[in-house]
Chains A and B, each alone.
Chain A
Amino acid sequence: MQQFFNSLYTSGIGLFYDRKSPMYGLYKAEIFNTTGFYTLLTALALVVVFYYIFNHAIPALTHQGLYKPTHWLLVLLLVAGLGALLAYQVSMGQGAVRDPYMRYFIITNTLVAPLWFILFSVVLKWGSNHARRTPF
């Protein structure tokens, strides 16, 4: 899994920035993996919350009618924001310094997080009572 996250983020950041940080070893050993897992779990959790808590299991919430694509898009933006925050927090927590590489890592994770969200949405939306056709 670590190798997967390392390849994902290394090539992801490589799209924006062709240099590497002197901290790259730390990113590979700790930061990519931790951030990757947290981001994946966050996206999954919010998909579950959107499809199975708000629009499925709890009638009181389901009756709010929060199944429209706009609502879904708002959650997607929330996931993107959380992705950025996670990337920043994990990097700083591991002792990386603020350099351009960290900036592009945050940007990359801001894009990776919604991708997970979309993927899990497509996979899991069919089980939801009210939102199985959100966003399409």
Chain B
Amino acid sequence: MHTALTKALLIGALGSTLLSSCGEVDDTKATADTAAAPTKPAASTTKSDAAAPLQANLFLELSGGMRGFMPANTTATEPTAFQQRVSLLASRTNSSPAVADTKFWLSLNKAPQASTYAHFREIVQGDTHEAALGTELPTMLENILTLPQAANKVNVVVSDFIYGPKNQATSALMNVNITDALATVTKKGLAVAVLGETSKFYGTYHPAVKTPLKQRLLKGETLPYYIWVIGPPAAVGRYLNEVLPAPAATTQQAYFGLTFPRVPYAAVLTQVPASNSLAPGGDGSISYGGAGISTNLEVDDVKKGVDFTVALDLRQLPAAWREPAFLARNLQAQVPNGTVKLLPNSIKPTTGVPELQAYTHTLRLHLSDFPKAGGQLSLTLPAPGIPDWVAQRSTENDNQPAATPHTYRLTEIMNGVREAFPQTMPPVFTVTFALSQ
């Protein structure tokens, strides 16, 4: 009798514990599935990138107006910044392991003329006797983009980008002409990078505006020139980071159409010791939704406020977009129906944090509200528009070179480039976390 009673009680006790456990939603499976997810895409992107070497076309505008950048040097003269930079650019494009095949071209007054690396180098070193009459900028771009396979290659164009339309009437529509010339870019969804450089100029300068002088003889004045990189977004991104010589401090940069679908990222919760300033803080608590590092975050007492760090790997982005100051101005943190803010001065490079070597930047967020049912935290870098330096470099009359380098109606040219892209451009990158409380 005793044993029967014991059994009954035991079953009753176990039964009640089991019942109490069945009533709740089993979310452990979901969290376990997502836990390993975010690390995988990062590994696969680097693999596929490495598997696809770039094809490059390198164009040098060889018009009379470009000769002054490429004077024939003697042992006593120093090569111009143009000569140094463009020869390094050509050399690196020619030899970089990231580039499978490079074709060198001279943009003369008609279609681009195929050249060789040796010949290209000779020209940059000062052998410019082949120089022809200048090509109009839209025609030059059009000719470049109509070359076979141009839309699949990285097209690097070195030119002064002085656009003086022969038919003065068309100068009112410079932006449209440029947009039309870039029709391939629009249709194929290519990206355009514009790097503004300056160099000393020794020779005949042909300004776009012909008054008061049709041409001037310059002896070492500084003039602007530009390197444009046009091609598929991923290829342009790689070319900028792996092949192009690192931009100097004075290099002006503008990028259009570059997006990075897979930026590796993580919330820094358990990677650093609690004493580290990157560890979570605030009066609420935050943890990963599952056992491993994941993008599912569980927050407790969110109303009390939670501070936590997000680590990003922005190695793929061009240099100008990796600047903490630029990121601080442009990055947007959002939670629908919630409150999150990017803490000021919190964007920093990850140097000196051994636990976060896989990432390049950290930033700190303050999360103080999101819906009880859960939310999504997104961190977005919207595509930047035309940068400020363009307006500063633009001029209505480039006849007289000034101390600050000017390009005739650069704003119009760049507006034309911008208009070759959709009105609302997709963000450069977006990273998201699923939040629950």
Contacts and interface: CB of A to CB of B under 8 A. Distances in A.
Nearest to A26: B291
A29 B28 contact: yes
Interface stretch (B10-18, B148-156, B322-330, B352-360): B10-18
Interface residues of A, number: 26
Interface in A1-15: 1-4, 7
B20 A126 contact: no
A99 B24 contact: no
Given A2-B28, A126-B5, A20 B285 contact: yes
Contacts of A127: 2-3, 6
The dominant DSSP class at the B interface is: mixed
Interface string B211-242: 00000000000000000000000000000000
B101 interface: no
Contacts of A94: 291
B316 interface: no
A124 interface: yes
A26 B294 CA distance: 11
Interface residues of B, number: 38
A116 B273 CA distance: 35
Given A18-B301, A126-B2, A4 B17 contact: yes
Contacts of B300: 19-20, 24
Given A4-B20, A19-B300, A123 B286 contact: no
Interface in B248-290: 269-270, 273-274, 279-280, 283-290
Nearest to B271: A22
A23 interface: yes
Nearest to A5: B21
B375 to A, nearest CB: 17
Interface string B8-45: 01100100011011001110100110000000000000
A25 B291 contact: yes
Nearest to A30: B291
B298 interface: yes
B28 A97 contact: no
Contact of B288 (A1, A22, A99, A119): A22
20 contacts: A2-B21, A3-B21, A4-B20, A4-B21, A4-B24, A18-B301, A20-B286, A21-B285, A22-B270, A22-B279, A22-B280, A22-B286, A23-B270, A25-B291, A25-B294, A26-B270, A26-B290, A29-B28, A97-B273, A123-B10
Given A1-B18, A4-B21, A119-B13, 16 more contacts: A1-B21, A3-B26, A7-B24, A19-B283, A20-B286, A20-B300, A22-B285, A25-B290, A25-B294, A28-B290, A30-B291, A97-B270, A126-B2, A127-B3, A127-B6, A132-B2
Interface of A: 1-4, 7, 18-26, 28-30, 94, 97, 99, 119, 123-124, 126-127, 132
Interface of B: 2-3, 5-6, 9-10, 13, 17-18, 20-21, 24-26, 28, 31-32, 269-270, 273-274, 279-280, 283-292, 294, 296, 298, 300-301
